[in-house]
Amino acid sequence: MMSGCVASTLDFSDTAKVDRSISTGSIPLEPEKVADQDTIRNAVSSADLGRLGNNPVPWANASTGSAGVITTIAEDVSSGVVCRAFVTSRHAYDGIAKFYGRTCLVGNGQWQLVNFSQQS
């Protein structure tokens, strides 16, 4: 027969308190989704609408593995600002989704994505 002594150091009544002085900010958008949005924005802004007609524009992001097809691009000018509204699919590791977006040419000659929302 073996004998020994067992000591318990688990005293839950004397545990450390939760540190509530630490706060966190909002959770940023996942980097791969931002990269996909940039890829889509670039495809929309570089499309030659005169030659494109009603043809879809495929896009792919090699860094995330996502891909999709832009089915609609419509350009409009409002108050001197050139914008393009578009509809695209996004095939990614988390599923397939359809998005509506809008990108506009800003003062420095760059296209800025001003809307990118998932359709239900």
For the chain, state the CA radius of gyration: 26
What whole-number distance in Å separates Cα of residue 38 and Cα of residue 56?
Answer: 18
Cβ neighbours of residue 7 under 8 Å, at least 6 residues apart?
A: none
Q: What is the pTM of this model?
A: 0.71
Contacts 24+ apart (CB under 8 A), 9-12: none
- The pLDDT value given to residue 61: 95
- List, for residues 30-86, the tens digit of each pLDDT value: 655 778 999 999 999 999 999 998 899 999 999 999 999 999 999 999 889 999 999
